[in-house]
Amino acid sequence: MKLPAVYSGGLHIAHNNCVVHVESAGKNLAIGPGVVIGKKSDGRPIIGDNVTINGNSCVIGNVKIGNNAIIGAGSVVTKDVVENGIVAGNPAHLLKMRTDI
């Protein structure tokens, strides 16, 4: 299967039932089951490299997800996520920064 140009490579969707509508996505994007990544009137998400979006999360609108970010299960992301950030909640907020990379 050839991926659209917006994907840089290494896309992994754990299960079906996901909606993925991004402006662009970097390398090694991992998406859990039941995730919605979608458009709002102000735009679509831009996702960096090595990002993990865990199950039942929602990433909506003109947001930027930084490289190496992790989005916790069930999160609703409506604001930018910093590089190396770990976010969770509804609305999603920064829990801590990754130090394992």
Residue 60's alpha-carbon distances to 1, 2, 5, 22, 99, in angstroms, are: 26, 25, 20, 9, 27
92-97 and 85-89 beta bridge pairing: antiparallel
Domains of the chain: 12-89 (2.160.10.10)
pTM for the full predicted model: 0.85
Residue 12: count other Cβ atoms within 10 Å of its Cβ: 10
Q: Measuring CA to CA, which residue among 35, 47, 44, 43 is closest to residue 76?
A: 35
Q: Encode pLDDT of 42-58 as tens digits.
A: 899 999 999 999 999 99
Task: Give the mean model confidence (pLDDT) for residues 64-83.
Answer: 98
Q: What is the mean pLDDT of residues 56-83?
A: 97
Q: Is 91 exposed, middle or buried (0-12, 13-18, 19+ CB in 10 A)?
A: exposed
> pLDDT digit string (tens) for 7-49?
556 766 666 667 788 899 999 999 999 899 999 998 999 999 9
Task: From residue 37, give the alpha-carbon distance in Å to each of 7, 98, 99.
Answer: 14, 23, 26
